[in-house]
Amino acid sequence: MTPDATLGHALALARSPRTPARATPPPRRPYPWTGTPLALPATAPDPDGPVDLDHLLRHSLRARPGTGGRLRPAASAGALHPVRAHLLIGPGCTLPPGRYAYDAEVHRVFRRGPAPRGAAPGVIAVLTVTAAHTAAHYGHRAWPLLLLDTGHAAAALALAPQGPGVRVSLDIDAATLAAAAGLPPADRWQRIRPGTETEHPLAAVQVTPRRTQRTAPALDRWAALPLPHRTRTPTRPPARPCGTGRLLELLGAATGTEPAWHPVRRPATVTGRALLERRSADPATLGHPPDGETVARLLHTAATAWPGGPAWCAAVATPAPALLAPGHHTATPYRLARGDARPSLAHWAAGQLWLADTGAALLAHGCPSDAPASQIRHDHLAAGFAAGTAHAHAAAEGINARPVGSWQQADLGAALGDTPGHDWVLHGLALGAAR
C-alpha cells in the first residue's frame, strides 16, 4: 500500500465514529538527554539585542512550575504536551552556539554538540513529537492531534520573540530535520538511543536578531555534523514501528513541493503577558457570545495566519445564527449559511456537548478524503498554527477560548450541500465573552 493510501485509510478511521481503544499509558520517562542542565540567561528586554532564549522559551513552551508539566502557554490535546524542541543556536543568541535540547518542565537546556562553521545567526528550533502517551489516550485518533499540537507549539514559538525576524516551515522532510538536530532517523532510533521514545520531527521555527540579514536557514550545515551520543548497534534490529509511530514516519517523509519558510508577525495586541496567560478556558466560561466585531477580528487572524492553509469560518448565534466566512479583501465576514451550526458541532466534536451552547466557534476546514500525504500533513499543521495564533489574539483581547481538536464525521461541505468528502472540519477554537 502506498503512503498516500495508508494515510488516507488512517484519516478515514480517525474521522469515523469508532471509539478509540484506550490503553494504559507508559510511565513517564526521564528527559532523555544527559549532561549538566544549563540555565537560560535572563537579560533586560532589548529588541535590538541578541535573541533572548529565556524570553522565547518562557513565553512559548515552558511548563508552569509545580504542575507536572501540564500547564504551558501552548495548547495540547489532553494536556499531554508531546512536542519537544531542539535548538540549533548560531551567533547572536544569549547562549553560546551549538546544538541543545530543551526540557520544558525544568526550563533548562542540555548541550548536545557544537555548531557548524558558518552557522547563521539566531536560532532554529526543530519541533518533534513523541507518540506514546497521546496514542494511549486517543488511540487511532492520536496522529491528527499530534500534528495540531505541533502547529500550536510552532505558533507559540513564532509569537514569543520581542522583535521581527521569525520564519516557520511546516514542510521540511523529517530526515533533514532529524539530521540537523542530531537525532537518528525514526527507523534507527532504538538502535542508537535504546529504551527512549522515538522523536518524530515535523516543523521548524527560525528566530534571528533584528539587525541580522535574513537568509534561508542552512540546515544542511547542521545536518553534516555527526550524530552525538552514539551507542553500539545491537546485532538484532528492532521491529518496524506500527500504528501511530509508523504514520508519523510517513507524514515526516511527505513533503510535496520545495520546503518553504514563511515570515511571521504577531498581531499588534499580543503582548508577552497575554502569551503567558493564554490557557484553554473551562467550557463553563464559554457560554456567553463575544461581540460581532471581536469574532470578525479573530476570524481574520485565523484565516490569514498561514498562507495556503485550510479555510476558516465562524459559527455564531448572535445577532442571528449563521456560519460566517472571512471577506476576501476585508476583515468583514460574509454569511456562508443561515442557521445555528453549534448543535452539529457538538455532535461532531467527539461528544463535547458544551459546544452547543458556546458563544461562538472558529473552524478550520478542508483536507479532502483523497488528499495526498503532503496535504494531510500541511493542512493539519497549518490548522494548529492558525488556531494557536488566534488563541493568543483572543487572550490579548481578554476573550476566553478553548481549542477543539477531535472531530468525527465532521463533513462540513456535505452539510452545506456540497460534494461529500471534500471539506472536513480539522480544528476549532471555541470562544466566549470577554473576561
Taking only the tens of pLDDT, the chain with its 435 residues reads: 788 999 999 999 999 999 988 787 777 776 777 778 899 998 877 777 899 999 999 999 999 877 666 788 899 999 999 999 999 999 999 999 999 999 999 999 999 999 999 899 999 999 999 999 999 999 999 999 999 999 999 999 999 986 678 999 999 999 999 999 999 887 777 767 776 789 999 999 999 987 776 666 778 889 888 887 544 444 333 333 448 999 999 999 988 777 889 999 888 889 998 898 888 999 999 999 999 999 999 999 999 999 999 999 999 998 999 999 998 766 789 999 999 999 999 999 988 999 999 999 999 999 999 999 999 999 999 999 999 999 999 999 999 999 999 999 999 999 999 999 999 999 999 999 887
Q: Do 370 and 400 share a domain, yes or no?
A: yes
SS3 state at 85: strand
Identify the three-state secondary structure at position 292: helix
Pair 215, 287 in one domain: no
If one counts every other C-beta atom within 10 angstroms of the C-beta of residue 87, the result is 24
Is 274 part of a structural domain of the chain?
Answer: no
Domain membership of residue 194 (yes or no) is: yes
- The b/e string for 338-376 (b: 16+ C-beta within 10 A; e otherwise) is eeebbebbbbbbbebebbbebbbbbbbbbbbeebbbbbb
* Host domain of residue 307: 280-434
Q: Tell me: do 29 and 69 sit in the same domain.
A: yes
Name 151's Cβ contacts closer than 8 Å, sequence gap at least 6: 170, 203, 380, 381, 382, 383, 384, 385, 386, 387, 388
Out of 264, 289, 320, a domain closes at: 264
Q: What integer pLDDT is reported at residue 216 of this predicted model?
A: 65
Q: Which of 124, 123, 102 is nearest to 111 (CA)?
A: 102
Q: Is residue 107 part of a domain?
A: yes
CATH number of the domain bearing residue 93: 3.40.109
Return the pLDDT at 205: 96
Evaluate whether residue 271 is within a structural domain.
Answer: no
Strand partners, 359: none
Q: Is residue 270 in some structural domain?
A: no
Is residue 275 a part of any domain in this protein?
A: no
Residue 95 and residue 48 share a domain: yes
Quick one: 260 and 126 in the same domain?
Answer: yes
Contact 83, 128 (CB under 8 A): yes
CATH number, domain of 424, equals: 3.40.109.10
Q: Which residue has the cell 525514526?
A: 186
Q: 310 and 255 in one domain? A: no
Same domain, 251 and 166: yes
Instruction: Report the predicted TM-score, pTM, of the whole model to 2 decimal places.
Output: 0.94
Domain count, the chain: 2
Q: How many CA atoms lie within 13 A of 268 on its CB side?
A: 1
Q: What's residue 70's pLDDT?
A: 76
Question: Per the domain annotation, does 329 fall within a domain?
Answer: yes
Tell me: do 61 and 175 sit in the same domain.
yes
- Mark whether 255 and 286 lie in a shared domain: no
- End of a domain among 240, 264, 288? 264
Q: Which of 264, 291, 311 is the last residue of a domain?
A: 264
User: Per the domain annotation, does 273 fall within a domain?
Assistant: no
Would you state the cell numbers that stand for residue 63, as one nine-digit string? 511548563
Residues 233 and 151 in one domain: yes
Q: Are residues 70 and 150 in the same domain?
A: yes
The reply to whether 258 and 374 lie within a common domain is no
Q: Which pLDDT score is estimated for 175? A: 94
